[in-house]
Amino acid sequence: MKIAILGNGRMGKRISELAIERGYTIVCNSSSEKPATSLNLSTADVAIDFSTPTTAFENISHAINSGIPVISGTTGWLKNLKKIENLCLKKQGAFLYASNFSLGMNIFFEINKTLAKLMKNQKYESSLHEIHHTKKLDSPSGTAKTLGEQMDTILANNTAITAERIGDVSGTHIIKYSSTMDEIEIKHTAKNRDGFAIGALIAGKWIIGKQGVFSMQDVLAQ
């Protein structure tokens, strides 16, 4: 698999390292001196975007316009998500966005929905707390927003989301249901960035040769 890395931050670098370990080829990657939109993507099988909220839309558009399947794990840019999906369909390309590529977190998403269904109409107050490293640009995290949206859709309420930035924390998400009698809590803790990176590589390999707009649920269903 020949990969173009769009974004040269912590995640982009770790994806590159793990890709090379697995025998994949990094054909190009962006940097502060070489923006993703200037890259020739013609030799890539897939583009993987882990950039910034301010550059993701242009990066992904560039990949789609170049005829390259693209997956994105960048959060904080979703006001333009519909534009990207429409561009993908217009160009008959392939695009997959996920707020979190970790296989464990995607299982946690399903656990969250199941628990919310059980808690519906019960006298409990829902809350969600997320913790990330101090260099994370968006707050609350895209993952926290996904979890909160899942809960609110099922519970028909507005779950309170709080965020905390500490040191080099890879990502912790805690969901609580509290009543005057007891408290129920579920928690996902990322020990490092490898889970996100490996999930992105799995999704990148999966999307090659496909057309349409996809999610991690499509990848995991195969």
- Residue 196 near residue 75 (C-beta atoms within 8 A): no
pLDDT confidence of residue 35: 85
* 125: β partners: 178
Told to judge if 210 belongs to the known catalytic residues of this protein, a careful annotator would answer no
At 3-26, the pLDDT tens digits run 999 988 888 999 999 999 999 999
* pTM metric for this prediction: 0.82
Average of per-residue pLDDT across 184-196: 93
Q: Which of 62, 129, 132, 188 is catalytic?
A: 132
Domain ranges of the chain: 2-101+194-220, 103-189
What's the rounded Cα separation, in Å, for the pair 102 and 50? Answer: 14
Told to judge if 132 belongs to the known catalytic residues of this protein, a careful annotator would answer yes
Q: Which of 129, 136, 145, 188 is catalytic?
A: 136
- Please list, in sequence order, all residues whose beta carbon lies within 8 angstroms of the beta carbon of residue 179, skipping any fewer than 6 positions away: 122, 123, 124, 125
At 154-168, the pLDDT tens digits run 999 999 999 999 998
Which one is the CATH code of 2-101+194-220: 3.40.50.970, 3.30.450.40, 3.40.50.720, 3.90.580.10?
A: 3.40.50.720
Nearest to 95 by CA among 82, 104, 85, 107: 85
The arrangement of secondary structure in 103-189, i.e. its CATH architecture, is: 2-Layer Sandwich (3.30)
The secondary structure element, H or E, covering residue 188 is strand 183-189
Nearest to 212 by CA among 94, 80, 47: 94
